[in-house]
Amino acid sequence: MHFSQGVRMAWKSILSNKMRTLLTMLGIVIGVSSVITLVAMGRGSSAQVKEQMSSLGTNLLSVTITGRGAVTTLSVDEAEAFGTIDGVIGVSPVVSGNVSAKYATTNQNVAVEGVTASYETVREYAMQSGRFISSIDVEYLQKVAVLGSTTATDLFGTDDPVGQSVSLNGIRYKVVGLLAEKGSSLGGSNDEKILIPISAAQRLLQSKGVRSVYIQAESEEQLDLVQAYVENDLAKKFRETTTNGSSSSYRVFNQADLVDTVASVSSTLAVTLSGIACISLLVGGIGVMNIMLVSVTERTREIGIRKSVGAKRRDIMLQFLLEALVISGWSGAFGVGISYAIGPIVESATGTPILMSWDIILLSFAFSFSIGIIFGIFPASKASRLKPVDALRYD
């Protein structure tokens, strides 16, 4: 029997039981579409996290001071002294808090950060209009402010805020710059904030010291070495012996390690969900085997007639195996189509980006074919082993 003839016979047999075939295909369709969609969600989520974290800089260290005894903060000078460490190209001490920001009749509770001029490059911010905080602003405690894009919209609407004045806890600050939109990261929105000189922030927030410092290394490769130097300096400052960088007085976070960790967690979750979805593919495969066994039983007399007129065992086996392959192949194709159709819906509903890739689509399609082969071999083998005399006697 020619291969093309076997395909035509398999297709004719499948069409003779349309409803049963559709119900059999359903398990594989659900399995394939679930695997593709879940993997696409996992990859999209991982890519989104990497992008958000990378926006903070992968060659960045974040130092948080919790303090010990009477020493609970660093001074601005002590924080900026980290800039003398080999491999460090930028240091940005930060004083942060929340204030009541008011413009005209609009009043908002906004996060405010006291920064130095280096904050712009260390945190990789860009200006949409106006200028950033300068060293002179810090030195002379100038009451100037730079607004995040979302905060500017909340306070000023569509008006240009540069040159206007905004009240922070009742004190007037002149808006000298507007930050370009940066988006969100794991720490929250980067656009919902107001930046003022660190000297002015210490007075406004009544905070004499610095609890947060961002340190930028020359490259990601030098980050571990820079981190070791920073931890050594902090240990001397707070007179602590650290174990694996752990201390009760400070925390040093390596941004590159955090990106890798979060991405690894996202990938592991995607693989786990895909494994669960593969169970439905196995269930679909069992359904294919079940329906093929039923088909063998129903067509026992047909098998006997074909064998009595010269059909060989391989011909019978090929026919039933092709039927299983056609069912699983079309199921895989429908599953791919459904995953593409529901992708935008899932992305809109969950807010998680869907990142389709041809490798996982081809793998899922190949897996559905494998299901047809694996679960079709037993029914095909059973049909091919029937003896013509016994098959013709079957009633």
Interatomic CA distance for residues 45 and 57, integer angstroms: 19
Residues of the chain with pLDDT under 70: 1-7, 10, 49-58, 68-70, 184-188, 240-247, 256-260, 262-263, 266-267, 270, 273-274, 277, 386-395
Burial of 89 (0-12, 13-18, 19+ CB in 10 A): middle
> pTM higher than 0.75, yes or no?
no
Count of other CB atoms within 10 angstroms of residue 287: 20
Interatomic CA distance for residues 255 and 57, integer angstroms: 7
pLDDT digits (tens, 9 = 90+) for 186-233: 556 789 999 999 999 999 999 888 999 999 999 888 888 999 999 888
Q: What is the pLDDT of residue 172?
A: 96
Q: What is the pLDDT of residue 246?
A: 52
pLDDT digits (tens, 9 = 90+) for 284-304: 778 777 777 777 777 777 777
Q: What is the pLDDT of residue 95?
A: 95
Count of other CB atoms within 10 angstroms of residue 348: 10
Mapped onto helix, strand or coil, the DSSP state of residue 195 is strand
Q: What is the pLDDT of residue 1?
A: 53
In sequence order, which ranges of the chain are alpha helices (DSSP H)? 3-15, 18-54, 76-80, 119-122, 135-139, 149-156, 198-204, 223-238, 255-298, 300-308, 313-350, 358-384, 388-393
DSSP string, 305-361: HHHHTT--HHHHHHHHHHHHHHHHHHHHHHHHHHHHHHHHHHHHHH-PPP---HHHH
Q: What is the pLDDT of residue 20?
A: 77
